[in-house]
Amino acid sequence: MNFKEVLLVVNPISGDSNKKYIINTTQEKVKEQGANFHLFTTTGTNDIEKIRQRIAENNIERVLVAGGDGTINLVAEAIKDMDISMGIIPAGSANGLAVNLQLPENVEDQVNIALGDKSIKMDLVCLNDIICLHISDLGINAELIKNYDESSIRGKMGYLIQSIPTLIKSNYPFHFNIRTPEGTKETEGILLGIANAQKYGTGANVNPGGKVTDGKFEILIFKKFSFSEILKTLRNETDFDPEVIEIFSTDEAVITCKKPVAFQIDGEYIGESTEVKVNILPQKLQILVPENFIE
Ligand SMILES: Nc1ncnc2c1ncn2[C@@H]1O[C@H](COP(=O)(O)OP(=O)(O)OP(=O)(O)O)[C@@H](O)[C@H]1O
């Protein structure tokens, strides 16, 4: 152990769940390790600045995050230029990044990993200057997130309830122009994903070749709905029909759309966009993983 001051950042509303058990367990384990425990509860406004302030005031050396992908993203933004490692205690609606980092279900095990020594240096994908740790997309999934944000029911059920109205109201197919150092591509689709990791929080393995430390991201084009291809992602199969799902790796891209398209980063709805500039910050964030983590 090479830290004395630990900050736990907790999102009180994420995943529609009470965080008391997580807070108590973390506090106990930090004390057992002979370190000091500090707590920051997010408010939904200016959290990045407030976290940076707490880190400076208390000489924080390790940050733990209890929240969903949105909360992990904002803590990553706060610490990305500091020499501080981040541990994750998944407590959101879908926990996409936690699935990719192979974190266990049990809170005690999660806290042990977050306070442990095994870490990787993760790439951060940067989209119009906003970082992404997990998966971002333009199209129907971002429309779903927008509709969810506007509804009053939170958690997994909230997403489920919004899925049918989203399909009915959607403006798909969308038209995308994708420029990368490898060439230019014009395509239509229901969703264009920009993936650092492999899986959505549902476990759907949409990007089987994705690695969070390889200095690259993948562009995923879902050209049309196909239940057989969706089932393949759920079964971890990798032989997608290129007529339905096309995937390629790159390290830079400019995506333009003829009409504004809904856009989300790590589960947070950003707005409608006609241009997304993508680049990568290789091995930028030190993040704790299980001892038996396999890339
Ligand atoms: N105290 C708070 N009150 C309201 N919103 C908050 C608060 N703290 C953080 N937030 C918001 O929570 C969002 C992040 O939620 P996160 O993605 O971590 O959890 P989630 O359960 O997966 O989210 P969601 O339920 O929206 O899918 C951010 O938009 C952030 O601004």
Q: How far is the CA of 258 from the centre of ligand 1 (A)?
A: 31
Q: Percent of the chain, pLDDT > 90? A: 72
Domain residue ranges of the chain, discontinuous segments joined by +? 5-117, 130-282
CB–CB of 49/25 below 8 Å? no
Q: Which two tokens stand for residue 231?
A: 């089932």
Interface confidence (ipTM) of the complex: 0.95
Return the higher-pLDDT residue of 279 and 151: 279
Verify whether ligand 1 is closer than 6 Å to residue 90 (CB atom): no
The pLDDT-based confidence of 171 (bands split at 50, 70, 90) is: confident
Lowest-confidence region among 165-179, 232-246, 248-262: 232-246
Do the domains at 5-117 and 130-282 have one common CATH topology? no
Q: Cα(76) to centroid of ligand 1, in Å?
A: 15
- Which residue, by CA, sits nearest to atom 30 of ligand 1? 44
Given a cut of 90, whether residue 205 has pLDDT beyond it is no
Quick one: average pLDDT of 71-96? 95
CATH 3.40.50.1820 correct for 5-117: no
Tell me, in angstroms, the distance from the centre of ligand 1 to residue 23's CA. 17
- Phi/psi at 166 (5° precision): -65, -45
How many Å lie between the centroid of ligand 1 and the Cα of residue 157?
16
Predicted confidence at residue 231, as pLDDT, reads: 64
Least confident among 61-70, 88-97, 122-131, 201-210: 201-210
Helix (H, G, I), strand (E, B) or coil at 281: strand
CA-149 nearest atom, ligand 1: 26
Tokens of 214: 């390889």
What SS3 string covers 126-138?
A: EECCEEECCEEEE
Q: Which fold has domain 130-282?
A: Tumour Suppressor Smad4 (2.60.200)
Please work out whether the CB of residue 96 comes within 6 Å of at least one atom of ligand 1.
Answer: no
pLDDT in tens, 43-68: 999 999 999 999 999 999 999 999 99
Distance, CA of 181 to chain centre: 25
Question: Which residues is 262 bridged to in the sheet?
Answer: 272
Which residues, including other chains, have CB under 8 Å from residue 73's CB and lie 6 or more apart? 131, 132, 133, 134, 265, 266, 268
Pocket mutation for ligand 1, best pick of 11, 86, 146, 266 (most atoms within 8 Å of C-beta): 11
> Does residue 13 have its Cβ closer than 6 Å to ligand 1?
yes
Any idea which of 8-12, 112-116, 169-173, 250-254 has the lowest mean pLDDT? 169-173
Cβ atoms within 10 Å of 151's Cβ, excluding its own = 13
Residues of the chain with pLDDT > 70, as a percent, come to 96
The whole-number pLDDT of residue 243 equals 80
CA torsion 48-19-108-294 (nearest 10°) is -50
For 282, residues 6+ apart whose C-beta sits below 8 A from its C-beta are 123, 215
What are residue 93's DSSP bridge partners? none
What average pLDDT does this structure show over 205-224? 90
C-beta 15 within 6 A of ligand 1: yes
Q: Is the beta carbon of 92 within 6 A of some atom in ligand 1?
A: yes
Q: What is the mean pLDDT of residues 11-38?
A: 96
- Ligand 1 within 6 A of CB of 151: no
What is the predicted pLDDT for the residue at 237?
Answer: 67
